[in-house]
Amino acid sequence: MSNAVAASKRLTLGEPLPLLIGGSEIAADEHLDAVEPSTGRTWARIPAAGQTHVDDAVAAATAAFPRWAASTLSERQTALGAAADRLMADAERWPALLATENGRAIREAGLIDVPTAAEIFRYFAGAVRSMEGRVIEGAPASSLVLTRRKPLGVVAALVPWNSPIISIAHKLAPALAAGNSVVLKPSELASVSCIELVRLIADLFPPGTLNVVTGDGAQVGGPLVSHPGVAKVSFTGGTDTGKRILTACAENLTPALMELGGKGSLIVCDDAPVDTVVEDALTGIFAANGEVCFASSRLLVHESRYDEIVERMVARADAVVVGDALDMSTQLGPLISTAHREGVIAAIDRAVAQGAEVAAGGTAIELQGELAGGSYFRPTVVLSPVGDTSASCDEFFGPVLTIETWSDPDEAVARANDVAYGLANGIWSKDIARAHTMADRLDSGMVWVNQWFATPLGQPQGGNKASGFGREGSLTTLDEYSATTVVNVSLDETRPPMWT
């Protein structure tokens, strides 16, 4: 366990951060504390927006919309490419900010979060050139029927705290590529990175195209998603919040994209190479502190490999370096907050009361000195062999792996599907025919074969069932942020004799 503190990198922002509305930085009357998970100290103050700020942001985005909607694809491509460049040019600054903000291990923030966010902007800088309408064949020769893809208007984008700049890029890049303006509402637990990211790139777009309102979810997000001026809600977050937002959207018939929770199973067959499976399973559950919607939070192991894999996963979980997110040797930082840690522990206790067994971790870690207020938690392995406890269906949203066993492939697939969620699942087998056959029967938006977590841009990301609907990160995402308009042109003046 690492105790070293990279004090020189620990950030403190003295001045309260502003709201970003209509191209201006707006000071708020009230603020919320941004608490560093590694230490429990307040490191920044974020603005707590009110109803008026939400109204102002939607009005600014509405006013900016026609100008950005009229931009050429070349202008959009240039602006999105420049956003990617600025992010990478600024790459040194981001890992420390992200690690301070949500406890992401600094090493991982630099390796994954920053380049991935930049790559999303770069992908949509290219993808925007694929936006085109169609000429509809089959119409009478006397007419020309064509379609156009038109932007929708103001997009309300709401994101969670776990991978803030990646989630924000997944909203901003396609929404802007399609010609919309945006009001962004980040999580109250990770707003600094959002404000800083928009400050970095906002001037690449007409003033008011990009706006940020921060504050409490229900108080700021609530009025935003029910605002009649919003043309589309794009939400990433918890399933229960998603349901509340959809209810609000119903009032104005506002369409929504929903990226919600998950409970992913990695099914391990008897012929899988155990060394690689263990590496994939470790990454699948402990990357990003396990606070990932598409974590491999269940490992369903064939009975012939169960004991071996349990033993190895327990040993490896115990060896994970937990500590200060700002320490380069840390592999697993603190959870986002002590309240979230209490929730994870309570969820483990529920599973244990139903018969699950904790084989590794399961408890908080109290570090010393400056780190004493941090929300550290041991990497955890829970055994629920026949999948009959809540450890097999509840989303812990932390570094908690549930290991189960099976003897019949049909049983493994049925169990993986027998959860409310349908975001990501995986199969490990050297028998490609078997892997494909099983993969085809898994009910989730993503299925990985012989790996976990591969999400190249272009591959649609999103879920089924309680994991939501809509796909991010691909060409089809542009359809989420644009609407088909038909133009049907008559080429002659003859009409059927209806009125003569």
Query: Mind telling me the catalytic residues?
Result: 259, 293
Of 158, 257, 335, 416, which lies in the binding site for ligand NAD, with binding defined by CB under 6 A?
Answer: 158
Closest alpha carbon to 259 in 98, 103, 445, 119? 445
Of 208, 261, 264, 284, which lies in the binding site for ligand NAD, with binding defined by CB under 6 A?
Answer: 261
Of 225, 278, 381, 427, which lies in the binding site for ligand NAD, with binding defined by CB under 6 A?
Answer: 225
Residue 293 is a binding residue for ligand NAD (CB under 6 A):
yes
Residue 399 is a binding residue for ligand NAD (CB under 6 A):
no
In the bound state with ligand NAD, the residue whose beta carbon lies nearer, of 159 and 309, is 159
Place of tokens 């067959």: 269
Quick count: other Cβ atoms within 10 Å of Cβ 349?
14
Q: Which stretch binds ligand NAD (CB under 6 A): 88-96, 159-167, 350-358, 474-482?
A: 159-167
Amino acid at 90: D
**Spatial CB neighbours of 241, under 8 Å, sequence gap ≥ 6:** 217, 235
First to last CA, the chain: 90
Residue 331 is a binding residue for ligand NAD (CB under 6 A):
no
Residue 221 is a binding residue for ligand NAD (CB under 6 A):
yes
Q: How far apart are CB 167 and ligand NAD at their closest, in Å?
A: 6
* Strands 31-35 vs 42-47: parallel, antiparallel or unpaired: antiparallel
In the bound state with ligand NAD, the residue whose beta carbon lies nearer, of 185 and 302, is 185
Q: Which stretch binds ligand NAD (CB under 6 A): 98-106, 186-194, 348-356, 383-391?
A: 186-194
Residue 234 is a binding residue for ligand NAD (CB under 6 A):
no
Residue 223 is a binding residue for ligand NAD (CB under 6 A):
no
- The Cα angle at residue 450 between residues 310 and 405, in degrees rounded to 5: 30
Of 100, 162, 392, 405, which lies in the binding site for ligand NAD, with binding defined by CB under 6 A?
Answer: 162
Of 53, 104, 171, 185, which lies in the binding site for ligand NAD, with binding defined by CB under 6 A?
Answer: 185
In the bound state with ligand NAD, the residue whose beta carbon lies nearer, of 81 and 222, is 222
Residue 103: left (phi > 0), alpha (psi -120 to 50), or beta?
left
Of 47, 237, 374, 387, which lies in the binding site for ligand NAD, with binding defined by CB under 6 A?
Answer: 237
Q: How far apart are CB 146 and ligand NAD at their closest, in Å?
A: 35
Pair of tokens at residue 215:
């504050």
Residue 421 is a binding residue for ligand NAD (CB under 6 A):
no
Distance in angstroms (rounded) separating the CA atoms of residues 387 and 146: 53
Of 180, 236, 330, 425, which lies in the binding site for ligand NAD, with binding defined by CB under 6 A?
Answer: 236
Of 68, 121, 161, 452, which lies in the binding site for ligand NAD, with binding defined by CB under 6 A?
Answer: 161
The 3-class secondary structure across 421-479, one letter per residue, is EECEEEEECCCHHHHHHHHHCCCCCEEEECCCCCCCCCCCECCEECCEECCECCCCHHH
Q: How far apart are CB 113 and ligand NAD at their closest, in Å?
A: 13
Residue 94 is a binding residue for ligand NAD (CB under 6 A):
no
- C-alpha neighbours within 13 Å on the C-beta side of residue 317: 29
Residue 160 is a binding residue for ligand NAD (CB under 6 A):
yes
Pair of tokens at residue 140:
């009478």
Count of positions on this chain that bind ligand NAD (CB under 6 A) = 31
Amino acid at 59: A
Residue 374 is a binding residue for ligand NAD (CB under 6 A):
no
Phi and psi at 450, nearest 5°, equal 60, 35
Q: How far apart are CB 262 and ligand NAD at their closest, in Å?
A: 5
Q: How far apart are CB 258 and ligand NAD at their closest, in Å?
A: 8
Distance in angstroms (rounded) separating the CA atoms of residues 360 and 332: 15
DSSP 3-state of 148: strand
- The Cα angle at residue 477 between residues 187 and 171, in degrees rounded to 5: 20
Q: How far apart are CB 433 and ligand NAD at their closest, in Å?
A: 30
Cα–chain center distance at 42: 25
Of 188, 280, 327, 404, which lies in the binding site for ligand NAD, with binding defined by CB under 6 A?
Answer: 188
Closest alpha carbon to 152 in 187, 130, 181? 181
Give kind and range of the element (H or E) at residue 12.
none
DSSP 3-state of 222: helix
Give kind and range of the element (H or E) at residue 415.
helix 409-417
Residue 227 is a binding residue for ligand NAD (CB under 6 A):
no
Of 62, 71, 77, 187, which lies in the binding site for ligand NAD, with binding defined by CB under 6 A?
Answer: 187
| Stretch 445-464 residues interacting with ligand NAD (CB under 6 A) | 463
What would you measure as the largest C-alpha separation in the chain, in angstroms?
93
Residue 244 is a binding residue for ligand NAD (CB under 6 A):
yes
Q: How far apart are CB 65 and ligand NAD at their closest, in Å?
A: 22
User: Interface residues with ligand NAD (CB under 6 A)?
Assistant: 158-162, 185-188, 217-218, 221-222, 225, 236-238, 241, 244-245, 259-262, 293, 395, 397, 423, 463, 467-468
